[in-house]
Structures are given as C-alpha cells and as structure tokens.
Structure 1
Amino acid sequence: MRRTTIALLAALEASVSTLIGYGVALVPLMLLWAIAFGLAAPIDVFFRVAGDLWLLGHGVDVTVRLDAVTAATVGLPGADEAFTVTLPLLGFAVLTFAFALRIGRRATQGGNPVVGAAAAVVTVGILGGVMGALAATEAAVPSPWQSAVLPALVMAAGTLVGIARAFARLGWATDATTSVVRGWVDRLPRVAVDGVRTAVRVGVGAAFGVIAVAALLVVVRIVLDHATIVGLYQTLGAGVDGDATITMVQLALVPNLVMWAAAWILGPGFALGAGTTVSPAVTLIGPVPGLPLLGALPPGGAPLGVLWLALPVLLGFAGAIAVAASVPVHEEAPWWTTLVVGLGSGVVAGALLGVFAAWSGGAAGPGRLAEVGPDALLVAASAAASVGVGALAGVFAARARARNAMVDAPREPWVEDPSPVA
C-alpha cells in the first residue's frame, strides 16, 4: 500500500477516534441542556465543557474559576480562587489508545508503520490544540501546550504498541526506518537481545497481571456495594439528565479506579484528599467527592491484610517461569546475565505501574481535594521490589531446570563412518 494512502487512512481514523471521544462527553451534556435547562442556556457552553472533559481525560491541566455562588456551594477552602484540576478522566485516554493500537497494526500490515503512526500523532496533536483553544473560557482554561502534546502522546504510545504487536505476529516491516532499526538490533549480541526481550515480557506481563486483578477487585466491590451506590444516586436527586452526566464521568474514571486498586494491592494505597489513605493495612478517609461509585470503597482494613503483597511476587515468578521456558539457553551466558534479567523485569514493572499511577492521580478540586490518587514513586518502588524478587526466583529456577535438561538429555550414539578411505 502506498505511503500516501496509509497516511490518509491513519489521519482519518485518528480524527474519528477524537470525534467519538468528544461525542461521548457531549451526549450527556446535551441531555442536561435539553432537560434541565429547557434548551434556554447558551449551547456553546456545553460544547466547550465537552472539550474540557476530553482534554482532561488525556491529562491536560484545566484552570477553573468558580463564580461566587458556586464557590460558596462547594464549601471548600480556596474554591473562591482559581485552582487547577489535574485529575484525568482516563476513560477518554483508553479510548484513544484503543484506536491507536488499531492504527499501528493496520499501518504495519500496509508496510509503512512509521508513516501511519506519524500521520495519526500529528492529526491528534492538531485537533487537541484546536480543541484547547476553542474550549477556553473565563471559567475553565485548558493548558494550550498540553492540549496539543498530551493527546498526541497517547496516540503515539498506542501506535507504537500496536506496531510492536504486529511485528511480533507478522515480522518486521520493510520500510526504510524499520529496516534501519532492525539492522541495529541484529548487530547486538543475541544474549543481550534475548535478555531484554525476556525482561520486558516478564515485567509487562506482571504489571498487567496486577492491573487485571485490580480490575476484578473493582468489579467485585461494585457488585457487593451496589445497594450503597444506588442509594447515593437517589440521595443526589440529579434527575435523568444529571444521572447520565454523573454516570459518564464515573465511567471515564473507571480506569483511574482500577489503577488505584492496583496501588492498593501493591501496598502504598491511594488518597482521596489531603491526610487520607486507603490501603490494605488501614483505611482513613474523611468527606469524599459526591460520586456514587465511591460507595464501593472498602470500609476498613482488607481481609488477608498484607498477604495481598504476595500477589505481584507470584506474578513475577510465574511470568519468569513461563517466558524463560520459551527463550533458548545460551551456554556462554554467565550467571549474572540471569540476575540482570530478573532485576530488569522488576524495573520494567515498576516503571510501567509508576507511570500509570502518576497519570491516574492529581488534583480534583481546591483545598484538600488537591491530593487524589496514589503516590507514584511508592507504587513504582513497591512494584519493582515485589515483581523483581519473584522474577529473580523464576528466571534462576528456569535457568537451572533448562541446564539440567541439557545435561540429562540423551545424546546420539557415535557411529563410525563406514565409507572407505580414499
């Protein structure tokens, strides 16, 4: 497929992903405009708010200035002054990332992954910058440079992952840029390439294993506390339109909640305001934002307590055993290369979960709400240590088993060559 065609298709799909994300934010706001305001309020305000929500979902900081009446209703210190909301609604970023995976895969199948990825990233960057400029009002001002950069970074990350997955499944592409990268990789020692690949696979697998368990934990908590959540909806009395808007915001926050649950599993937990903590050891919270979904928070210390900390260790161990079994054993590789692979697995898992933790938290409002989410450094350190310990044990166990199998394997008997000597 021609490069121009791939670039146009990637740009079109990136534009569609942006419009879909924007539409998800806009639809409940249109219901609010039609039902609560009787079509009387200026409609452009709701279009701008939808833009703010989409940008906020990609990590863009939004500076908010509340009017005197609203600030008095909020009742938080600092609400009467300008404050910055940095808590992202990660559901929008997940949607963009999902489209980016598809763009990266399709561009790779077309033979020009770099061209497709570049077109998609530039398109989202332009659309984000335009949306940031159009959404700015006296009440809410998105960061101009972040509006152009951060959504594009989400698209870039997704396309790169999509390209990597396509390479793993279909082999390297043949375009010039990919050929140069492949040449660099081919010149590296095979031991180093296999070690890096193993560390990345184990670290990424363990990190997403923790996230998968966290997602299951969130679902279980919602099912167990559904009566509390429904009661909070009824207490708010927001009506059909208001409930739709609140539900949209909560659905966009589900990835945040999953990452907070992962931080809870790892030990550091998360905060819902200054001076609060929710962890397996202790739960100490005060008044929380009025979102019904927060009714699923654990009321106290967790069952099994710190035994949850064993989960990432087990994931690291199991991942190392499974991945190392598919990697050839290099007889010339010294023991310390196995040590580096185990430690590297922990570093990869810690870096990945630390970045996700940092992205999932931020300021949700003024005053005490300026601290919401997990401590990224603590999450990264905890994940690196626990996954690293399990991965170390796993890779050394796999190494020992592989070498024993090589020693114990039956060898072909030596047979004398019957051919006559000339």
Structure 2
Amino acid sequence: MNRSTTALLAALEALIVVAIGVGIALVPLTVLWATHFELAVDWSVFWNAAADVWLLGNGVDLTVQLPAALATAFALPGAEAPFVLSIALLGFTVLAVTLGVRTGIRASETPHPIIGVLAAIASYGVFTTLIAVSSGNSVVTASRPQAIVLPTLIYAAGVLVGVLGVFGRGVFERGELARSELARGLPTTDATSRSAKEPAAARNVGRVAGLGRRIRERYFDLPDTARQAIAESLRGGAAAAVAIVGVAALAVAVLILANFATIIGLYEAVQAGVMGGITLTVVQLALLPNLVIWAVSWLIGLGFAVGVGTGVSPVGTSLGAVPGLPIFGALPQSAPPGGFLWLLVPVLISFFTALLIRRRSDKAGRPAPTLTGQLSAGGGIGLVAGLLLGLAAWASAGAMGPGRLADVGPNPVLVGVLAAVEIGIAACLGMIAGSRVAASASSAASTSSAASTSSVTVDPK
C-alpha cells in the first residue's frame, strides 16, 4: 500500500465517521420532512437542525434567538433574549471517540501510519468546516471557531488513543523483554531481532514516535517500587472510575424502567407524532451518557442541578420546571431510602479494586511494597479516578435553555475533588488489606511447608 492509497483510505474513513454522526440526526429528520411536511418545507431547515444537533454533541455552543411568538409560547423567563445551549450530547462524543480509536488502530497497521493519521484528522477537519459553513440560520447559530476546531479535536483524541494503545503495547513488550534478558544475564536483544518478535502494528507505530525509546528508557530506569506504584495507580484509577460509571449506568436503567409510565405520558403530552417521537428519542439517547455521569455525581454524594436553584442528591430532591424531554420523567422526586448510605457504593468499589490490584501484583511475583508504597499507590488511584470523573462531569454539564436552565449538571471541580478523596482513602485501605492478606497467605504456606518437612520419617530398613 503506497502513501496515496493510505491517505485516501484514511480520508474515506473520516468521511464515513462524519456521515454516521450527522446521519443519526439527519435521517429521521429527512423522513419527517417527507412524510409529515410532504416536502413543502425547505429541506435546508432540517439539514441545519441535524448539523446543529451534531455540533452540539461535539461540544459546540449554539446561540438561540427565538422569534417573539415562539418565545411567548414557551413561556420561559429569558426566552425572548438570545441564550446559549452549551450542554454536549455526549452520545455523539462517545461515538466520535470510539470510531476515532478504530481509525487510529487501522492507521497504525499500515506501512505509512503518520500519513494515515494526519490524512484522517485533516480530512475530518475539512468535513467539519464544510458542515459549519453550510449550516446556521437566524434562529440557531453555532460558534464558528468551535465548530471548526472542537469536533476535529475530539476525533483526533480518539485517533491518538488508538495509535498510542498499539504503540504502548510495543513499548511495554520491548521493555519487559530487555528486563528479562538482563535478569538472566543475557545480552539485550538487538533492534532487528526485537522487531522480528513484535507485531507489524507495533513496529509501524514505533517508527511514528521517535520519543518512544526515550519514554521507555526513562520509565524502566525508575526504581521498581516507583514503576509499580505508577502502574497500579493508572490501572486501579481507571478500573475504579469505569466500575463506578457502570453502577451509575445500571441505576439510570433501573430509574427509566421504574418510571416508564411517566416517560410514556410525557411522550403523549408532547404530541410529536411517529417521526417526531423518533427524532426526540434520538436526542434523548444522545443525552443518556450525560445522565449516567450525573448519576455518578449523585453516588459520590454531590448530586446535580437541573436548573438554577435546583438539586438532585442523596439528601433530597428540589426540582422546579425541567426541560421538556420525556427522559427527565425518570428523575427521582425525593431522596431514596438510606440517603448517604449510597456513598458506600464508590467506597466499596474502590476498596475491592485496590484489593484486587494488590493481589494481582502479588501473583505476578512483584516485590511486596512498603507502607509508603501502598499509600502512594492508593492515593494515585484516587487522583486518577478523580481526574477522570471530574473531566466527565465537566463534559456532561452546561446550559440547556434560557434563564434558570443555564445551569444543568454537576459541578466538575467538586466531583473531581470529592471523588479523589473518597476513592483515594478507600483504595489506600484496600492496598493495605491486600498486602496483609498476601502476607498471611505466605506465612500460612511457609508454616504448612515446614510442618510437612518435619513429619517426614526415614525408614530404618
């Protein structure tokens, strides 16, 4: 595969990713245009709507100026003045990052990975610019600089994650191979033989990053205890954050099922018709990741706002008028039984995550860390998880309308700080408990071995 073919395939893949994202909103809107409006309305109205939804899902702020009659019909304070929609529909963001990771992995498997990565990102930027230039009207206006930059950055982040994932495996394999050879007193394998042992993707990505060798050398030059603490912090923090998000997703699913009748009643009240209901459902599906992150903030103990002066937390719920989306019928109307006992969920998840990380390190034959090493790893788990959850909370919050709806979602700084404290303390306890369990098991094994040896008798014959 030559350079031109690699670049064309990467550009085609970027085009497909953009088409999937915009098409999710455009297809039902186009069907609505053909069936309900019978082609009587200019199709550009629906194109603008689909492009605005996609841009909003990629973090682009939209400025809305409602006509006077429509603002009066909504009866929302502040609707007559221009207002900003800044809450990202994270479903589109997750889709772009996921497909970007796939693009990065595929680019790293080509003979010209640099060209593949650059062509994919540049093409995505061109397509995003075309969408931003071709959309917009007097009612909804996207921030043009954000529309050009943010979607491209989100996709590029996914591409780089895919590339670095393959590259990281190659770096780790090379470092572990060199360490094992040195430990056995063998000369380290030269570059040619190492390259032969690595998969093609790892060799290609190794060509991409000239910094790889220096990163590997600096990392493996660290003391064993430092490298172990770093690895456990990254692995444990990511695992704890993912587990908490998983529990939050389960809680959101249970709330939706428990309040299904209320949600259906809100659908009927909207009277959007079949295709309008499908379009509304697409928007709500894109908003589901936001609700999951809000549930994470709730489990941590902070809760979230659905407008200025409102709050949904384990202590209680105070809601006023909420945005007119049927999915908000699943919001709890009061504090659940147990209140702050729900805070034990992230604490227990963090404790057992650290416990499993510690036991896995013991089974791998790594040296038992000191108390300082255990606390460092536990604190690192809290910092990593707090950073991840704080960033997720920041991405899930924003303005959903005029007036009091300008503040919707959790406070990202408080979520990150409180999550780091809760998870860090629980992880420190889990690391200490895991080390003690391992020490007890080792002592019991030694005692059993000694007893077996002393019971052996010699036959006098």
Separation in 2, partners of 1:93, 1:23:
14
Q: Determine if contact 1:191/1:330 at 8 Å carries over to the other structure.
A: no
Contiguous gaps of at least 5 residues in structure 1: 413-422
Give the aligned partner of residue 216 of structure 2. 185
Separation in 2, partners of 1:118, 1:386:
41
1:369 Cα deviation from its structure 2 partner: 0.7
Separation in 1, partners of 2:92, 2:384:
25
1:161 aligns with 2:192: no
1:303-349 CA deviation, whole Å, 9 max, x = no partner?
A: 22111111111121221122233335765965423322211111111
Give the aligned partner of residue 285 of structure 1. 319
Give the aligned partner of residue 459 of structure 2. none
Letter in 2 for 1:98: T
Find the partner of 2:265 among 231, 234, 250: 231
Q: 401-410 or 318-327, which moves further after superposition? A: 401-410
Separation in 1, partners of 2:434, 2:370:
15
Q: 303-312 or 33-42, which moves further after superposition? A: 33-42
Give the aligned partner of residue 402 of structure 2. 366
Larger radius of gyration: 2
1:196-221 CA deviation, whole Å, 9 max, x = no partner?
A: 22111111111111111111111111
Return closer, same or farther for 1:46/1:74 CA change in 2, 3 Å cut-off.
Answer: same
Separation in 1, partners of 2:368, 2:294:
43
1:180 Cα deviation from its structure 2 partner: 2.5
1:79 Cα deviation from its structure 2 partner: 1.2
**Number of corresponding residues:** 412
Q: Give the match's secondary structure for 1:80.
A: coil
1:398 aligns with 2:429: no
Q: 180-189 or 263-272, which moves further after superposition? A: 180-189
Find the partner of 1:246 among 280, 283, 299: 280
Return closer, same or farther for 1:312/1:160 CA change in 2, 3 Å cut-off.
Answer: farther
1:7 Cα deviation from its structure 2 partner: 4.1
1:341 aligns with 2:373: no
Q: CA RMSD in A?
A: 2.4
Q: 309-318 or 168-177, which moves further after superposition? A: 168-177
Give the aligned partner of residue 305 of structure 2. 271
Separation in 2, partners of 1:259, 1:277:
15
Return closer, same or farther for 1:205/1:111 CA change in 2, 3 Å cut-off.
Answer: farther
1:134-153 CA deviation, whole Å, 9 max, x = no partner?
A: 11222221111211221122
Q: Determine if contact 2:113/2:208 at 8 Å carries over to the other structure.
A: no
Q: Determine if contact 2:368/2:435 at 8 Å carries over to the other structure.
A: no
1:141-184 CA deviation, whole Å, 9 max, x = no partner?
A: 11112112211222133223333444566757233343532432
Give the aligned partner of residue 50 of structure 1. 50
Letter in 2 for 1:181: G
Q: Give the match's secondary structure for 2:280.
A: helix
Give the aligned partner of residue 418 of structure 1. none
Return closer, same or farther for 1:354/1:115 CA change in 2, 3 Å cut-off.
Answer: farther
Q: Give the match's secondary structure for 1:243.
A: helix
User: TM-score normalized by structure 1?
Assistant: 0.90
Q: Determine if contact 1:313/1:388 at 8 Å carries over to the other structure.
A: no
Identical aligned pairs, as a percentage? 43
Separation in 2, partners of 1:186, 1:409:
37
Letter in 1 for 2:31: L
Give the aligned partner of residue 78 of structure 1. 78
Equivalences for residues 36-185 of structure 1 within 5 A? 36-110=36-110, 115-167=115-167, 171=173, 173-174=202-203, 175-178=206-209, 180-185=211-216
Q: Determine if contact 1:343/1:392 at 8 Å carries over to the other structure.
A: yes
Separation in 1, partners of 2:337, 2:5:
56
Find the partner of 1:204 among 227, 238, 262: 238
Letter in 1 for 2:270: L
Separation in 1, partners of 2:254, 2:72:
37
Give the aligned partner of residue 415 of structure 1. none
Letter in 2 for 1:358: W
Letter in 2 for 1:239: G
Give the aligned partner of residue 347 of structure 2. 313
Q: Determine if contact 1:13/1:99 at 8 Å carries over to the other structure.
A: no
Q: Give the match's secondary structure for 1:325.
A: helix
Separation in 2, partners of 1:38, 1:46:
13
Separation in 1, partners of 2:91, 2:69:
31
Separation in 2, partners of 1:101, 1:5:
20
